[in-house]
Structure 1
Amino acid sequence: MRILITYGSRRGGTREIAGQLASDLRYEGFDAVARAPGDVDDVRAYDAVIVGGGLYASRWHRQARRFVHRHVQALRERPVWFFSSGPLDDSASRERIPPTAQVRALMEQVGARGHVTFGGRLERDARGFIARAMAREHAGDWRAPEHIARWARSVAAELREAAQPPGGFGATSRESPR
């Protein structure tokens, strides 16, 4: 099963999460690749898709939003999950953070199966006025690899379950033996 993980990332942290997800899903036995949205011409080449976006002022990265809008019909035809990255603290590892209203609306458009928020990363020497000001108090890396791996395993389990034919291996009979 081929899985695409694509992302919108301004400073590289979300791109690196996508790379870890691809690696974790390959470990689970899937053919998973991480690609920038601009490098994906046709979603139909994949059996499942994960779309991630960095959150900036509660807005998903523009490349992630545009990717969903550009491929909305093809995304509706396959299993899709979303992830966000952004909190500059450990809150995403301690509790479930729901998608923003904007991300929730995109999920509804494509029938996404789920969403997770991962912690973000902001380097101390970040460029740009706002990022530099935020870095004074919030620089650090909160992308917990174990949280990312756990979510990748849950996606893998859901894909395996969906691939099981009804009555296939492991199915139980409702009839009692005689």
Structure 2
Amino acid sequence: MTSTALVAYGSTYGSTAELARTVGDGLRKTGLLVEVRSADVVRDLTPYSAVVLGGALYSGRWQRDARRFARRHRRALVRLPLWLFSSGPLDSSAAERDIPPPPSVRRLAHRLHARGHVTFGGSLDERADGWVARKIVASGKGGDFRDFEVVAAWAESVARELLSLTSRID
């Protein structure tokens, strides 16, 4: 397969960007060509044969750049194989059970015909800017709850599905 998959992400503090890079590495491991880019810099989906879009969750909503990406590219996204991921829970819940997407992300997944969605644990530490982020960390609810092995395994499952789709087309 010579086409390229895009992993786009909306990240405010960098945690979701790190998850996106791990997703990209997992896709590459199976031989796919992959670009990992911040959602706010992607202008055209023409070069891509598939998209993985991720967003950090804040108060049950995706980070602004991920939402804008989905809106801006909705016509192209419905025609491409698409998977979604969210990062957010600042506890171990994502490692303990499957967490469904919040209603806004669920509606987006439905409208865009996403093939799947997963929620990964989030991360927030004292370097985070913003009053709310500082209050969360100061209250002891910050920390790093990401499991990069789980992220990589999910990415590899996405890659296998994508490779299966393309082998049926070829």
TM-score bracket for this pair, using the shorter chain length: over 0.9
Aligned: 1:138 with 2:141: yes
Q: CA deviation at 1:108?
A: 1.4
Aligned to 1:117: 119
Q: Does the CA contact (< 8 Å) of 1:124 and 1:132 recur in 2?
A: yes
Structure showing greater radius of gyration is 1
TM-score normalised per structure 2:
0.93
Using the TM superposition, give the Cα deviation of residue 89 of structure 1 relative to its aligned residue in structure 2, in angstroms.
1.1
* Distance (Å, rounded) in 2 between the aligned partners of 1:6 and 1:12: 13
Quick one: which amino acid aligns to residue 50 of structure 2? A
Q: CA RMSD in A?
A: 1.4
The aligned residue for residue 160 of structure 2 is: 157
Amino acid at match of 1:145: F
On the 8 A contact 1:123/1:139 being kept in 2, the answer is yes
Distance (whole Å) between structure 2 residues aligned to residue 112 and residue 165 of structure 1: 19
Structure 2 equivalent of residue 174 of structure 1: none
Give the deviation of 1:124 after TM superposition: 2.7
> Partners in 2 of 1:17 and 1:148 — Cα distance?
7
Instruction: Return the alpha-carbon distance in structure 1 between the equivalents of residues 38 and 129 of structure 2.
Output: 21
- Which of 16, 19, 26 in structure 2 is aligned with 1:17? 19
**1:63 counterpart = 2:65:** yes
Is the Cα–Cα contact under 8 Å of residues 62 and 105 in structure 2 kept in the other structure?
yes
Shift of 1:71: 0.4
| 1:105 is the counterpart of 2:93 | no
Shift in Å at residue 160 of structure 1?
1.6
Which consecutive residues of structure 2, in runs of 5 or more, have no partner in the other structure?
Answer: none
Aligned 8 A contact 2:25 2:152 in 1: no
Q: CA deviation at 1:109?
A: 1.6
Percent identity, please.
Answer: 45
Question: Is the CA contact 2:45–2:73 (under 8 Å) kept in the aligned structure 1?
Answer: yes
How many residues align structurally? 167
TM-score by length of 1: 0.89
For residue 73 of structure 1, report the CA deviation from its aligned partner: 0.6
1:16-95 → structure 2 map (5 Å cutoff): 16-95=18-97
